[in-house]
Structure 1
Amino acid sequence: MPSFFRSAGARLTVVRRAGSENPELTIAAETRSRLYLASLLRSHERSATNRRLRNPHVPSFLLQQPLRRKLPLLISSLVFVVVAVLSGFGYKQVERAMIAATEQRVANAAQQVGGMLHESVLGLRRNAHLLASDSNVVHFLRRDSPRSRAAVDVTLRGDIGRLPQIVSRALWSRGQLRYSLPPGDSSRASPTLAPSDSTQSAMRAWVSPLRLQQKTIVYDVVAPVVAGRDPLGYLVETRRLGTGQSLQFVRDLIGSGASFLLGNADGSLWTDLAGTVTAPSRSPLSDSPIEYPRDHVMQVSATDAVATTPWLVTIEIPRRIAIAPARQFIYGAGIIALLMIALGVIAAWGMSRSITRPMDDISRAAEGIADGDYTRRANVSSENELGRLAASFNAMAAKVEAAARERENTLSLFDVVIASAPIGFALLDRELRYLRVNDALAQLNGKPAAAHVGQLVSEFQPELGEEREALLRRVLDERQAIVDVELLRSPKRKGGIERQLRASCFPVALTEGPPIGIGMFVAETTERRGLEAQLQQAQKMEAVGQLAGGIAHDFNNLLTVITSYGAMVMADLPRESPHTNDVQEILNAANRASSLTRQLLAFSRRQVLQPNVLDLNALTGNLEKMLRRLLREDIQLVTQFDPQLALVNADAGQLEQVIVNLVVNARDAMSRGGRISIETSNVTLGEGYGPMHANASPGPYVLLAVSDTGKGMDKATQAHIFEP
């Protein structure tokens, strides 16, 4: 195919022409250009054939190998790639599933352990509160005497023998230790103050953060001692964390492979119930499980707060344990992959032997045809795919033989393609004279195609001008295409429409040597100008909407402050205050201003509409009284509502604003009075209504019509009807 067709990137489609205005004249006038093109085509194809013979392509080592070797290698490689990809994908899926299951497991375990600790702490706090409320304890803190001390000693020792978790009990008052059990234990400081959150009260006990006391992790249960409403002091019960059976119970609860950590929310101390450990490297306060390294081992963990305590509980599982099933999966997939590759190699070798032998025969026949012996045929008699391939090859050889005899007729095909193109095409020589013009360009220029041949391009396309002719010369000199050049053609008569054209020019050249001419496509784009004007209008309205939305947003923030402070002032004023009405007027003005901002936001498409199911008859009826106050005495308002009107889903405020605006505009258009009608009805839109009215879908609708007897709008006003 000549290079000027390849340069244009066109798809050649053969169509049957219905005939031109004067076919005999057209054929006679195009004979010269057709013969010229034929000579170019023959010369180009002969030079291309000679170059292929002089410069054969040397394939790589792999391409030089016979098919009987490449086919088994290709199939084996394909099987390996498929199996590897599927195995990798499967591994990732299993790994992702295992990680997700592990995250769910540690999250559930953290919640369960946290809940268990919460229940246990509630019991300890309750017992401490009961003990602090004992009359002996209260009497002792009121008056320390030998008798009261003996009584409180009996009370505090009552259950200490059967509760090994209790390290000590003490009574504090006014920052001083008044009593300790065992006696003489004054090693610790005053009790931790009650938490400041609202869940604690002066009559309830609380627990302190974990602390280390003589290599033992302990915590305090503190209960206030009060008499009536007078605080007397605190009962402090120091307990060690449960070990042994408690630790085994937690491990059974969280499952194998998991680790249990308990620590203070401030990170000061963490333990695994067997000893102190380092706190998690990341903040354990998270809404979902996280992964982080601990001692160079990635952990999957979840953290939950123990309610009413300053403690956090964390459950950890090493990531390698979580993804162990995924590794087992990849081991099994690897064995299956090796078996599949081995079977693929064996099957591919047998298949290649059955394919390559017939292919060799077909290849030798093809080489004979390439040497010019169009009588060569493939001798493959099998009835499988290769047999059908040989039959197809023989049919193709017969067609090639017939095509060789009809080669001279191919130029007529190009004439049909060029003449049938829907856009204008011209082939110019180096002197910028027409060699070939199709009917589309001839119709665009208003002259028959035959009249173009041999004439200068400036005679039929004056819009090119001297500047455009210089561009065409540059196409020849620099061998570079010029794409989408905008051209304007003045009207031939007064009052005509200026036509806009778009042209693309490219050099027509053989591989070697200078260009022999210029190919040119020309299309009319006058209609596009109207579409661009519409786009500019839409962009202008969008910019106005954005400006209005920004102003409304900022103004609405100021109104929020005014409304809020006005409501606060109104709440502080007594009902009989003389300023009540003034403040109410401020609030009313702010609400009216807020309505204006909603209109601006609706115009800018930033307002969040609040559609509700509503009755248009009721909405319009409620507005009727206000609308009549807006009208003059010489204007009559008539309403006609359909009693069977369907309900609609819309924003009531927006609809009310639309109705008020329409009525006010109608009032302003009737300077001498008139009538305004508001009607509602059920309608059904057909298929032909949508394309002409904002692409409305066919079906049932509710109609709201506002009409008036005013003077109407001219076309200039209608062009700006939707502008703000």
Structure 2
Amino acid sequence: MTTPPFTPPPVARHGVGTRLRRVAMAVALVFLAIAVARARERMLAEQKRLGERAQDNAATAARSLDAVALQAHILLESVTSLVDPSAAPERNDDVLQSVFRRVPTRFSNLYLVDTLGSNIGAGLLPAGGRGAINLWKRQYFQSALRSGAFTVGMPVKSMTIAGAPWVLPFILPMKDARSGRTIALAGASVVLDSLDAVRATRRLPTGSVLTVLDSTGDVVIRTLDADQWIGRQFPNYPARSGRVEPLGSDTIVPSDIDRIDRLFGTERMRVANWQVYVGIPVTEVFGPSRRQFTQDLLLGLIIAVGIVGIGYWLTERFVAPIASLTLDARAISDGDMTRRSLIATSDEVGTLAGAFNQMADAIVERNAQLADSQEQLRQVQKLEALGAFAGGIAHDFNNYLSSIMGHGELALEQLEANDPARLEVASVLTSAQRAADLTKQILIFSRRQVVTPAHLDVNATLRTMQRLLVRLLGESITLRSELAASLGSVYMDQGQLEQVLVNLAVNARDAMHHGGRLTIRTSRRVLPNGPFVCIEVEDSGSGIAAELQPRIFEPFFTTKDRAHGTGLGLSIAYSIVGNAGGTIAVDPACTTGARFIILLPEGEPVVAPALTGALDVPQGNAERILLVDDDPGVSLVAERLLRRGGYLVESASDASRALQQLEQASFDLLITDVVMPGMTGPQLAREAVSRHGAMRVLFISGYPDDDLLAYEIATSQAEFLPKPFSRDSLLRKVREMLDVRDG
């Protein structure tokens, strides 16, 4: 069935076709002009590039020849330290042959001659024997003898290599250590055809040539007609500078010797002061760019004609439909997202209209996705705000717990052993400790816990997390623990280990929508790089598709919907485990649910500290302590605990008062809260050190709301005692810091 032609709405059509044809003609002319300009620009740019390449070829050849000369110089200096001109030639033969076998293959011979040019040692001898070689008449020999310096000679025909190829000689005089006169000369040679510069030139287009001229204009190296030109004067060399034609980047196009125009690059050698020319025939260099110029012109002309033809064709078939489509596009751009094109023809315009409608649908979908992304961002911001709020609550709550626990311990000390009130006070302390554990778990979720690495008992950590994990998983999921009987310790922060396990438990819970089982196992594994503590977290949920497993630890990658995941849990776990020197991976062999395997380096088993009584707590020796805390309850109980412990204590409720007291007296230790109004604890400590020099500082807080301090605590550069603290932990920490100072 033939699709009926599109009938456009009644729009003004008079003159549209004529205007479109005129526009097509104008566009064709403009395009043709641009094509001509562009083709010429491309040709000139290509010719300039080729000119620069020719110069690069010459520079590369010159540096390559300099490198060979430098290698020869170094080699001959080594040879002069090994041979003995006064020894028998056969002995020098042995030495030179031994060296020759070890030198790069580019060198074709090593030899030693006396000051009369007679051979007294060689790596290779000619078929006629030693007497067949005498360098007395060689120009480079005489030059080296006169100058007493390393010399690069004019190439000569080899007398030791079959076929007598051209070789480039190098010679270095040996001088007597006392008199300084030349007693012998060590030489080496390289076959010209083996030089990298010669090989590179032979790989250039046919007709390319490498020419090297010495300072007098004699040809030293020429890759074309070498037998005819090496050692001869280059034609018209003195007048050359007046005849060359500059082109590109220091390149020239001369016609010399064989009357072939070549694009030349030139560079001067540093070692021998020779001029290097590398030339490529102009027909080979510029031919492609000129042919490309012609092709570009033809293509531009064809396209221009095509533009005119298309303009006439569009006038008859597409003007009205496109005008209608334009109106639809304007309506959508004005905000009418319900507008769609009504064009239903089977030709290209119909296809374009269908694509236009798909684009409009895609815009609507993208807008919906953008709204979802913005909602997800708001959720992340809410979580961040909630974390900050939780940290603040934990800080205040830890202050209250510090006061409760401190006063409880003080009350317990004053009660007789058989006093019935001891049981009630002990119960208060137990409840306070449980509340402290709950606060610590809040900090885990807010990711504001203090990072203090220590040797941890993994099994003990898992047992303390039992209640938290059960509440996280809910009633429909069973938690099962299979803990190994004996494990070594792992060195990491306990809060970070708990955060890793919490993140894995939350992921497992979200994968078991209708309930299931979460199993946590511990074991010891011995791998080639040492023993490890292994923690396996396995769930009976929906599992992870094999194609997704390589990406699960990427930040923000998640398989959950936008309302239930940010894609940060596993990436955070991966970072924490990696920082502890371990690895975390999903087990691909697990086909029911998912199994994560954590390997952490094993240390010595954690030994439980021995129980100590009140008398075992280290006492002070009347050291002076300045205590700074804005919470009166914490300040009062800490001051009383420290005074009972044998210390002289002064208190300050803020940093400004503390600085005034530091001006009036000296203190052995500064104990300061971290989070305080105005100047914080870390700021106070830095100001005190800058004013009064180095001093011991102990930070106390529910969490250190200071990035620099958190880093210093993690790297053991700052001392920290978390709230709530007990009498024993406070006095032991203070005594430890003061003893370190005294030692």
> Same fold by TM-score, threshold 0.5 exceeded?
no
TM-score w.r.t. the length of structure 1 is 0.31
